A and B are shown apart, each in its own frame.
Chain A
Amino acid sequence: MASSIIDPSIQKQLVVPGTILTNDTSNFMRGHGTYSDTTRNHLKASIAGVVNKVDRLLCVEPIENTRYLGEVGHVVIGRVLKVDQSRWVVDIQSRLDAYLPLASVNLPGGENRRRIEDDERNMRQYLKEGDLFSAEIQQIYQDGTLALQTRNLRYGKLGEGILVHVRSSLVKRTKNHFHSLPCGASVIRGCNGSIWICPPASTSSDTNSVDTGGYVKNIESVSIDVRKTIVRLSNCIRILNQLGLQIFDTSIMDIYELSSDYEIDDLIQPKIIQTISKHLQQQKGIINGGGEVSGGNGVDPYSHHMKEE
C-alpha cells in the first residue's frame, strides 16, 4: 500500500500522524509536530493538525492547542500545590508544575531585606497549599520546567475574585496583562489560560503592598453591585472562550457592553451567545469589509488588531 504522501504544495494541508511531509530532508528543517524517519529519509508529521511551511521550516500545528507552553516574560496565575524546601511547587495548567523559588519573591519589610534562615520556616505564612497568586515566568529549564518570580509589586497573592479557565491560545499576548476596566472591576489575564476578575484596586491597598510586599490582601466585604459586575464579566469571558475569540481588554469590554441587554444568568444560554456573536460580527463587520452574520465564515472580527501588532 502506498504511504500517504501529500502533494508538494503542502502548506495549509490537514495531516494525521505518520503522513509524509517531504522526501527531501536536506532542504527542509524540522519544526514542531514533525519527526524525521532517518531510515527512509522522510520528514513525517507526528500530530494531527495543519502544515505550516515558512521558508525551509516545516511544522505541524494543532488546531486547538490544549497545553500551555510557557515563555520567559509571560504573566501566569498559579495555584500552590506543595511547599518544598526554599521553593513552592505551583500548578499552572501546563504539562509540568512550575517552581517559585524563595529567592524570587518579595519578603515583608522591603525588597532589599537580607534573607535569614527563618524565612524558609515561615514560607507558609506567605503562600500555602491552595493559594492563588500571579507571577511572571523567569526562566525555562531544559526539561521544560518553568521558574516563576513575583519580584514586582504587581504580582503576589490574590485575594477575593473569580478565576475563569479559558484556552491559553485565546489569551492575547500584550504588553500589559493587568487591566482596570471602566465597568468597575480589575482583570488579570494569565497567559496560561487562567483569568482573574476582582474588585477594583483601591488606593489604600497600594500603600499596604509597599509595606507588606504583597503579602496581605484586602478582604473587606464586596458590595452587591461590584459582585454583579464581576459575575457578568466572568460570563462574558466564557462567551469569548466559547466563540474562540481573542481575549483582551477591548474584546472583554465589547462583549460586556453587548451583554447589558440580558440578565447575567441568561448569558450562559447558547441562543443568547449566538445572538451576541451576531451583534459582534455586525459591529466588527464594517471594519473587515462586511462579513456574513453566520458564525463560520472563517474571519476573526479581531484579526485587524493582530495585524496592527
Chain B
Amino acid sequence: MEQPDECFDALQFAVDLDISEKKFSNTDEKVYISKSLINQANGSSYIELASTKVTCAIYGPRETSSTSDESYSKCLLETSIKFSPFARSHRIDPRLIQYDNDEDCEESELCSRLEEALLPCILLHKYPKSQIDIIIDIIEDDGQHLLSAIILSATVALIDACIELYDTVVAKSLKKNNSLFTLCYMPNLAQVSCLFFDGETTLKELDDLTDEAVKQCQLLHKAICKVVINDLKSAVVLNRKAI
C-alpha cells in the first residue's frame, strides 16, 4: 500500500532514549500526522497509524445549550465518533448503527473512552458556559490502533483549534495474544491520563506492556511536536510576522 510522502518511522526520533530491539516493537509502523484540513472547523486533523486512518474536526468553544449547573463553571465536551461503512473488512451498515441509547454500540464506547482520556488534559475552567464538539470520522480500522489514533487525532485537532491543554496527549495501542492494551500518556507531566485493557494477562506482562507503551508514547510525542512546530513555522511566514 502506498504511503503518503511525509510518513516517517517513529523510531527515528529515538536519539536520546535507550532503545534496544524489543519483542513488542514493530518497526514497520508508520505514522502520518496532518492538521488544519477542514476550513469550517475551528481545528482539524488527520492521522494514519499503520493502516488505521482517522480524521477529527473540532468546533468550539461555543455557547452551550446545556443548562446544567456544572456548565456554568467549566466547559462541556461533546464527542461524536462515526465509522465509515468501508472502515473494516466487513461492511458496516450505517443504518444499523445506533447512537446514544444503545449500550452495546462500539461507537458510544469509543466516545466515552475518548472523553475519559481527554477531560484531564483540557483546561476546562477557562471556558465556562461553553462546549467543545469533537467529531471523529473513522476511515479505516486495522483492529489494533483505533483508540490511540482517535485520541491522537483529537489532541492534534485541539492544538490546531488553540484550545488550552495541560500537555500534548499521546496514546499508544499494543496488541499481545488477542488482548488489546491502550495507554494514554502526558509526556511532560509524566502522567497517565487513562489506560484501557481488553483481554487476559498476568500482572508482570501488564507491567511490561505499560513500560513499552510509555516508551513508544514518548516517540509519538516527538513526532507530534515536530509536525506542530513545522506548521507553526509556515503559519508565521504566512502571517508576515517578523520572527
From B2-10, B109-117, B145-153, B163-171, the one touching the partner chain is B163-171
B33 close to chain A: CB less than 8 A: no
Whether B203 is near chain A, meaning CB under 8 Å from some CB there, is no
Q: Does B164 lie within 8 Å of A49, measured CB to CB?
A: no
Cβ proximity bits A54-73 to B, threshold 8 Å, 1 near / 0 not: 00000000111111000000
Asked if A20 and B188 make an inter-chain contact with CB atoms under 8 angstroms apart, the answer reads yes
Chain B's nearest CB lies how many Å from the CB of A15? 8
A16-B228, A17-B165 known; A298 and B243 CB under 8 Å? yes
Chain A residue total in the interface (Cβ 8 A)? 38
Residues from chain A with Cβ under 8 Å of B238 in the complex: 244, 296
Measured between beta carbons, the chain B residues less than 8 angstroms from A145 are: 129
Question: What is the bound-complex CA distance between A152 and B28, given in angstroms?
Answer: 67
- Whether B233 is near chain A, meaning CB under 8 Å from some CB there, is yes
Question: A50 — which chain B residues lie within 8 A by C-beta?
Answer: 232, 236, 241, 243
- In B60-80, the 8 Å CB interface with A consists of 60-63, 72
A95's nearest neighbour on chain B, judged by CB, is: B61
- Complex partner residue of B239 from A4, A12, A63, A96, CB under 8 angstroms: A63
Could you tell me how many residues of chain B have their Cβ less than 8 Å away from some Cβ of chain A?
44
A303 to B124: give the CA distance in the assembly, Å.
37
A202, CB-defined interface residue at 8 Å: no
Asked if A3 contacts B188 (CB within 8 A), the reply is yes
Name the residue on A nearest B186 (C-beta).
A18
Say whether B232 contacts A1, CB under 8 Å. no
B162 touches A47 (CB 8 A): yes
Tell me the smallest distance from the CB of B190 to a CB of chain A, in Å. Answer: 8
Contacting A at CB under 8 A, from B181-232, are 186-190, 218, 224-225, 228-229, 232
16 A–B pairs (Cβ distance < 8 Å), ordered by A:
A3-B188, A3-B190, A4-B188, A14-B233, A16-B168, A17-B164, A17-B166, A35-B164, A44-B188, A47-B165, A49-B232, A65-B162, A67-B61, A95-B63, A299-B240, A300-B241
